[in-house]
Structure 1
Amino acid sequence: MHTENNQRHNIYQYSIISELDNPSDDLLHEWGIYCGLEFDNNNENDLDKYWNDLSNRLPNLFKIALDYIWLPTPSCAVERNFSLYNTLLDKDRQNLTKESLKQLNMMYFNHDY
Structure 2
Amino acid sequence: MIGTTLWLTTCGSAFGALARYEVGRLVGGYARSAFPWGTWLINMLGTALFGIFAGLFAVTAPSLFIVLGAGFCGGFTTFSALSVDTIALFRTNRMLSLVYLVSSLGLGLVVAWLVQLWL
Return the TM-score normalized by structure 1. 0.30
Q: Which has the higher helix share?
A: 2
Return the TM-score normalized by structure 2. 0.29
Greater relative contact order (CA < 8 Å, ≥ 6 in sequence): 2
